[in-house]
Amino acid sequence: MKAKFSLFHLIFFFAFLLSGYTEPNFKAILKEIDNMNNFKESDFSATYTIVSEKPGEQTSVMKIQMFRRDREDKFLMLILQPEVQKGQGYLRIEDNVWFYDPESRKFSHSSLKENIQDSEAKNSDFKVSSLSEDYDVTSWQEDKLGRYDVYVVELEAKHSEVSYPKLKLWIRKDMNQVLKVENYSLSGRLMRTALYPPSYIKLGNRYLPSKMLFIDELREGEKSQVTLTDASLSSLPDYVFTKSYLERVSR
């Protein structure tokens, strides 16, 4: 009787220990996701094609050339298409974002929280990823998304300098890649869903999702596909990250 009692407690104790050991280190996972999307050691350039659908409207297409220098918190986003917006661009230097309009040759202050033109994608979707710094994990569970085993992790922002105060992430267990993100308002209203299907561009030792789908949850039927092409880690000249480059390139 005594032995049986001990065995029961031993099993319970190990089960408890094991369950404790299986809790993943989300801080590290988020850091890993950030690293996968950040390019601290080299410059990064790529072309993004954003195709946006809205009910009752014709499909709109926008092509953007992205230049990033994450180690200095800089990016330059240049609109290549459509023709009428060609040459407009966003330049980020540290905490400042400027919008440049080549027609008026004027700059104005913009924000990372703004949408890129009329699409569902935001400026912040292309900046340095800082999930591990900006958010705290509030809850998590294991689940399956299609054929993939995932952690479903809920995050809450630590400060107000983010596009969305609450996030829900579906993270692949096997490779620290996000498959799906739900963006919530402070009151918990679902604002936007982002899907990152498992189609990757391998750049060095990184895997970058080559396609993303952003679904506006407030306006039914509004969605944008973002496609990544021409990704490169080649270094870029310093003048790219200047206002004068934006001015000169569209002259």
Partner 1 sequence: MPVLLRIAFRNLKEHKSKTLIIGIIIALGISILTIGNSLMDTAARGIQKTFIENYTGHIMVSGKTDSPLSIFGMQMAGATEKVPVIPQYEKVKKYVVSLPEVEAVTSQVTGYAGIELGEERGFVILFGIEPESYRKMFSSIEIIEGRYLEPGEEGILLGESKILEIEKEYDITIGAGDQVILNSFGAAGFKIREVPVRGIFRLKQKTEGLDQIGFIDIQSLRALEGMVVATASDFKLDEEETKLLNLDSPESLFSEDDIVETETSRSEYSQQELMGILGGGEGGTGSITIDSGAWHYLLIKLKNGRDMPRIIAELNSWFDRENIPATAVDWKTAAGGMAMTSDIMKTVFNIAILIVAVVAVIIIMNTLVISVIERTPEIGTIRALGARKSFVWKMFALETFTISVLFGTMGIMLGVIIIGVLNIIGIQATNTFLNVLFGGPVLRPSVSSGTILSAFGIIVLIGFLSHLYPVWVALKIQPVKAIQTEY
16-55: contacts with partner 1 (CB under 8 A): 45, 49, 51, 53, 55
> Could you tell me how far CA 201 lies from the centroid of its own chain?
15
| Spatial separation of the C-alpha atoms in residues 50 and 90, rounded to whole Å | 16
- Using the contact rule CB under 8 A, the part of the chain among 20-28, 130-138, 158-166, 201-209 near partner 1 is 201-209
For residue 221, state whether it binds partner 1 (rule: CB under 8 A): no
Using CB under 8 A, which of the segments 8-16, 26-34, 106-114, 154-162 binds partner 1? 106-114
Helix (H, G, I), strand (E, B) or coil at 114: coil
Closer to partner 1 by Cβ: residue 135 or 170: 170
Name the minimum Å distance from CB 72 to partner 1.
17
Region from 2-10, 25-33, 78-86, 151-159 binding partner 1, contact rule CB under 8 A: 78-86
> Which of the stretches 14-22, 25-33, 157-165, 237-245 binds partner 1 when contact is defined by CB under 8 A?
237-245
Among 31, 168, 173, 211, binds partner 1 (CB under 8 A): 211
Q: 49: which residues sit within 8 A by CB, 6+ positions away? A: 61, 62, 63, 64, 226, 227, 229
Binding status of residue 183 toward partner 1 by CB under 8 A: no
- Residue 27: closest CA among 181, 149, 140, 192: 140
* 86 interacts with partner 1 by CB under 8 A: yes
Long-range CB pairs of 109-115, under 8 A, 24+ apart, other chains included: 112/163, 113/163
From the CB of 103, what's the least distance to partner 1, in Å? 6
- Residue 10 CB-density burial (10 A; 0-12 exposed, 13-18 middle, 19+ buried): exposed
The answer to whether the CB of 195 falls within 8 A of the CB of 144 is no
Q: Is 146 in the site for partner 1 (CB under 8 A)?
A: yes
Binding partner 1 by CB under 8 A: which of 154, 203, 243, 247? 203
Closest Cα partner for 212 from 50, 63, 29, 35?
A: 50
Q: Please give the size of the binding site for partner 1, defined by CB under 8 A.
A: 75
* CA–CA gap between residue 207 and residue 194 (Å, rounded): 17
Interface pick for partner 1 out of 20, 147, 159, 244 (rule CB under 8 A): 147
Please report whether residue 130 would count as binding partner 1 according to CB under 8 A. Answer: no
- Per CB under 8 A, 188 contacts partner 1: no
Min dist CB 62 to partner 1, Å, is: 9
Cα 218 to Cα 94, 120, 164, 183, 194: the distances in Å are 31, 11, 14, 11, 13
